Amino acid sequence: MELRLLRYFAVVAEELHFSRAAARLHMAQPPLSQQIRRLEEELGVQLLARTQRRVELTEPGRQFLASAREILVQVDRAVLQVQRAARGEVGEIAIGLVSSASYEDSLPRVLRAYRERHPAVAITLHELSSGEQLAALREGRIQVGFLRPPIHEPGITTTTVLREPLVAVLPADHPLADRRRIPLSALAREPFIMIPRSHGLGILDLVMGACLKAGFSPRIAQEAKEIQTVVGFVAAGFGVSLLPGTVRRLAHGGVAYVPLAPPQVLIEIAAAHRTGDPSPLLAAFLAVLRETVSGRRAGPNRPGGGR
């Protein structure tokens, strides 16, 4: 049975007048009458009692009208739902993030704007290292990740969300802890605590390169997989570290965060996703992301993401 026959019947049943029903349906009366007769023949039941003066629903017609209306409502609801899904307005999106991304206001602003724009989409957040996010992207466990470039990964596109300077993280009783700024070379003899390359991707390489430019090769005395752990080790006196500036929002009485004297060493947070991913949910999220961070110095999409 064709849905259009149900729609024709519902309108005729509401109007109880073929001419008015035909006008509502933007069609001529004779074809409408033919379609209703076709429906009755298909059902083997008379739905309408017709006289020269009036049209009335039969008892089977009244029963069928209730069912037809219910079916049409369900169909309209399904159409609306699939259209909203095609626009990325319903469903679930999984997002990965490095722990330090939550210290900075860009990600909360993006998520808040996205939730306001698409309240029917369920958001699942996964705190993962940059390396873990790349694996999750490849496997489809997350649709977008907020991580630390550079990313040398085929099939991954990144958009820069934030560039921020590294800061020196020193024990609170360190002789340099009360300085307004310190040159990176002042840390040449210090043991360093760093996030390993497998978890921090470009952080270790960035620090190593900056130290070499400052005239020394840092001695890595300890590694820790999470920024909070690095800060805890520094507070315990195991060494010093260089971390993204947003780490200063991680209050800890045992450490001092001291900016580096120029030239600053900049590190990025980027949004990464699978290149060519057709997901409407992802497209809608990226649209909100770009709009939200457009006031910042954000780089364009680029496959592989490395600089």
- Per-residue pLDDT of 247-270, as tens digits, reads 888 778 899 999 999 988 998 888
Q: Does residue 46 sit in the same domain as residue 97? A: no
Among 49, 66, 86, which residue terminates a domain? 86
Among 86, 104, 136, which residue terminates a domain? 86
Give 49-86 pLDDT, tens digit per residue: 887 778 899 889 888 889 888 888 888 887 877 776 67
Q: Does residue 226 sit in the same domain as residue 104? A: no
Give the span between the Cα atoms of 42 and 151, in whole angstroms.
Answer: 63
Q: Among candidates 233, 227, 221, which has minimal Cα distance to 245?
A: 227
Q: Does residue 35 sit in the same domain as residue 65? A: yes
Q: Does residue 73 sit in the same domain as residue 131? A: no
> Residue 249 gets which letter from DSSP?
G
CATH number for the domain spanning 145: value is 3.40.190.10
Range of the domain at 186: 162-267
Q: Does residue 39 sit in the same domain as residue 114? A: no
Residue 202 pLDDT exceeds 80: no
Number of structural domains (the chain) is: 3
Q: Does residue 52 sit in the same domain as residue 111? A: no
Q: Among candidates 270, 280, 43, 56, which has minimal Cα distance to 156?
A: 270
Average pLDDT, the chain: 86
Q: Does residue 280 sit in the same domain as residue 155? A: yes
Cα 222 versus chain centre, distance: 34
Q: Does residue 166 sit in the same domain as residue 257? A: yes
Q: Out of 14-28, 172-186, 198-212, 239-253, which region has the weakest mean confidence (pLDDT)?
A: 198-212
Q: Quickly state the pLDDT bin for 225 (edges 50, 70, 90).
A: confident
CATH number for the domain spanning 182: value is 3.40.190.290
